[in-house]
Every structure is written in C-alpha cells, then in structure tokens.
Amino acid sequence: MEEKISKFIIKSFFEKLNDSLTVDVAIVGAGPSGLIAAKALAEAGKKVAVFESKLAPGGGIWGGGMLFNEIVLQENIVPILEEYGIAFRKAEDGYVTADAVEVASALIYGAVHAGVRIFNTVRVEDLMMRDGKVCGVVINWNPVARLEMHVDPLVITSKAVLDGTGHPSELISLASSKAGITLDTPTGKVMGEKPMWMENGESSTVMNTKRLYPGLYASGMAANNAMGGFRMGPIFGGMFLSGKKVAGLIMEDIQP
C-alpha cells in the first residue's frame, strides 16, 4: 500500500508540473496581489501558474499586525471580500476588519478553484529573456537554494511574468542588476521602498502597479519597492486592487 501511495503522489504531481511547463502567465509570489491576479486571469481563460518559495501561500496576510491575526481594508474593498465569501466587521472612518487566516485561505481557495496551479516551496532564481522581452522563469526547490547546493534548475515559459514577491521585488531587482535592463521607473532602476505611510502607501501601491519591461509586471509591494512607494503595513485594500489592476494590464498585452 505504501508503494502505491508514493506512486499516486509522484504521478499526480508530475502530470501537474508537466502541464505547467508552458503557461500564459507565471506569477512569482503567492501574496494577496498575486493570488487575486491569478484568479482573475484564470477566470478570463488564461493558463496561470504561481510559484511560492515558502511552504504556505498567502504572503504577509497570515500574521495580521504583529501576529494579531486581523487585517484592515477600506470599505470599497467589501465587494471583493463578498466575491470570495469572506466575513468582515465594520470599524470606523470607512474601514473594515477581517480575520487574516480566513482571508489568506479564501484567496488560495479562490485561485485554485479558478484553475490556477500553485507550486509551493519553489523558488524562482532567474528570468528567461528573448529579443528584449521576458518570456519565462527559472525555477528550483527553495531548500536547494537555502542549502546552496549546486543543482541545475528547470524553466517555465510564459507570455508574461508577474513579480509579486513583496518588499524585495526579487525578479525586478534581478532583471535590473543581472540583465542590465532599463525599467519603466523614473530612474530606470529599482528605486527602493520608503518608510511607512499607510494612506500614501495604499494609493501608491495601485498607482505603481504596471508593466516595468516587456513581459515583466509588478504588483503589490513589489511595485512599490520598484517605484519608490511608501510601506503601508497590515492594511490590504491596495494589494487587492493592485491584483485586479495588473490582471487587466496583462490581459490587454497578451490577448491574441
């Protein structure tokens, strides 16, 4: 019986991986903006794979503010919460609160049931480029990277790549430093995240969500870091709207 169980796991996983070697959109980072973008793109008929380096998808939602697992959102985000069936409580001054664990779980469930493939513990260590365009990601197991083992990676080809890695904006930084490309930022490079200013950070997260290079997009805090926006802490409305916005931008660019 034990042998059969192992065979079931291996067969099912490699069917899933093999079917995801070529996708429409590769999303790196399963935080809120990446998960929301993934669901929207999948519902529009696009083939989407999400690569998350940690064991648990969900990004920074789980812990809420300082491990108080509640998050804050603006009231204009309520329709998105209702779309996912997420309970919320009214606060004051146009804000609501929601249970962080429920929100993270709902975003993951929503993406998967829209047809998104999520690969956890997989680290994207490089980009693939052809003729001035980002056209895929280079993946390896995160434990391999952490142990600094010399193990060659695999490649996922895609029409678009979304950097949803949060504060470090890992892929965009990699593209700028390693490939030497000029980004669509005021300086042509990653500008770096500014200190916390919640209200400003919320609005700039959405404003900074954009295509930074052909085939390469940024959402959430990765967009803010690239464009020099402010940090905003455990308030997530801007992240949700950023995911919706970037899905629309990608759809416009990859339509036949």
Which residue ranges make up the annotated binding site?
33, 60, 124, 150-152, 167, 221, 231
Q: Can you say which residues are annotated as belonging to the binding site for NAD(+)?
A: 33, 60, 124, 150-152, 221
End-to-end alpha carbon distance in the chain: 48
Q: Can you say which residues are annotated as belonging to the binding site for Fe cation?
A: 152, 167
Q: How would you label 14-26 residue by residue, b for 16+ Cβ within 10 Å and e otherwise?
A: eeebeebeebbbb
Q: Is the dihedral of CA 225, 59, 141, 132 positive or negative?
A: negative
Q: Can you say which residues are annotated as belonging to the binding site for glycine?
A: 231
